[in-house]
């Protein structure tokens, strides 16, 4: 019954996102932004997250984001390929975070199930929850943009290919000359960027599932 209520809640959240009003005219914000204006805008994004289905949300300073090492995977093959070079330097995410002042961190209730990691999401209920998370993240990022924070950056847990392109034979964004199939919906994974999401949630006093369980969290960085 508890799981059923969670799925109903996620369905209602998705319906509200799909029926959202047209975006307002973009506001101009002076640079550097006034700290009070920035704080008020971040709080409004937090409130919007809660209003649209997030179970928890908080405004934090970017310096409070716990960062670990970004996972690295390098292939040693030296053959021609339709894919981008297997070895290339990674831009460190911590330097990107330093360009922002605040972040809105939020969480959705998730079914108590194993985290699928980068693999396929077999549980349709969990797949629906991950899709809701990504839709909410892109919506909040868009809201920040229209507030005048044009470099706002959204990130969400989950593997975008498993969530958005499960029926595709490959990730088209990794093929030379091909763009991402869904650039307006796909967002980088927090964990893949090295964000220690469970440590951050504990710092905020939020309930944290075990390491192997699904944890649906997202973040929008605001400049």
Instruction: List, for residues 5-39, the tens digit of each pLDDT value.
Output: 554 455 555 555 555 555 566 677 667 778 899 99
| Cα distances (Å, whole numbers) of residue 110 to 26, 120, 216 | 33, 17, 6
Percent of the chain scored above 70 by pLDDT?
Answer: 76
Band (169; pLDDT cuts 50, 70, 90): confident
- Whether 74 is in a domain gets the answer no
- Whether 21 is in a domain gets the answer no
- Whether 78 is in a domain gets the answer no
Please report the pLDDT score of residue 71 as a whole number: 56
The rounded distance, in Å, linking the Cα atoms of 116 and 20 is: 30
Identify the burial level of 107 via C-beta atoms within 10 angstroms of its C-beta, where 0-12 means exposed, 13-18 middle and 19 or more buried: buried
Return mean pLDDT, the chain. 83
Tally of CB atoms within 10 A around 51: 11
Of 132, 176, 173, 172, nearest to 156 by C-alpha is 132
Please report the pLDDT score of residue 83 as a whole number: 47
State mean pLDDT over 158-183. Answer: 85
Please report the pLDDT score of residue 74 as a whole number: 47
Pairing of strands 102-108, 153-156: unpaired
- Whether 51 is in a domain gets the answer yes
Please report the pLDDT score of residue 61 as a whole number: 97
- Whether 179 is in a domain gets the answer yes
Identify whether the C-beta of residue 129 lies closer than 8 Å to the C-beta of residue 21: no
Q: How many domains does the chain have?
A: 1
Which has the higher per-residue pLDDT, 69 or 33? 33
Please report the pLDDT score of residue 75 as a whole number: 43
- Whether 20 is in a domain gets the answer no
Please report the pLDDT score of residue 11 as a whole number: 55
Q: Could you give the residue ranges of the DSSP H alpha helices within 19-174?
A: 35-51, 93-97, 124-146, 160-164
- Using CA atoms of 193, 194, 195, 197 in order, give the dihedral in degrees to the nearest 10: 110
- Provide long-range contacts, Cβ within 8 A and 24+ apart, for 5-10: 6/109, 6/110, 6/111, 6/129, 7/111, 7/125, 7/128, 7/129, 9/53, 9/109, 10/53, 10/108, 10/128, 10/129, 10/132
Please report the pLDDT score of residue 15 as a whole number: 58
What are the beta bridge partners of residue 161?
none
The distance from CA 175 to its chain's CA centroid, rounded to whole angstroms, is 23
Highest mean pLDDT of the ranges 63-77, 103-117, 159-173: 103-117
State mean pLDDT over 190-214. Answer: 94
Which has the higher per-residue pLDDT, 89 or 205? 205
Domain boundaries, position 180: 2-15+32-68+86-222
- Rg of the chain's alpha carbons, rounded to an integer? 18
State mean pLDDT over 111-122. Answer: 86
- Whether 79 is in a domain gets the answer no
The rounded distance, in Å, linking the Cα atoms of 72 and 191 is: 12
């Amino acid at each position: 019954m508890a799981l059923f209520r969670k799925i109903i809640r996620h369905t209602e959240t998705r319906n509200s996102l799909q029926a959202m009003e047209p975006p307002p005219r973009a506001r101009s914000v002076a640079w550097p932004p006034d700290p009070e204006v920035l704080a008020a805008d971040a709080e409004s994004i937090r409130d919007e997250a809660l209003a649209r289905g997030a179970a928890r949300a908080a405004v934090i300073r970017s310096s409070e984001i716990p960062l670990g090492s970004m996972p690295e995977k390098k292939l040693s093959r030296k053959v021609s390929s339709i894919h981008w070079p297997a070895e290339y330097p990674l831009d460190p995410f911590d330097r990107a975070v330093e360009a922002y002042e605040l972040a809105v961190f939020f969480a959705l209730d998730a079914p108590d199930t194993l985290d699928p990691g980068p693999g396929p999401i077999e549980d349709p209920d969990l797949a629906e929850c991950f899709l809701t998370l990504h839709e909410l993240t892109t919506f909040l990022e868009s809201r920040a943009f229209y507030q005048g924070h044009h470099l706002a950056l959204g990130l969400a847990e989950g593997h975008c290919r498993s969530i958005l392109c499960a029926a595709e034979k490959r990730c088209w964004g990794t093929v030379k000359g091909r763009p991402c199939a869904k650039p307006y919906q796909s967002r980088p994974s927090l964990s893949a960027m090295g964000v220690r999401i469970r440590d951050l949630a504990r710092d905020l006093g939020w309930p944290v599932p075990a390491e192997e369980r699904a944890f649906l969290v997202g973040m929008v960085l605001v400049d």
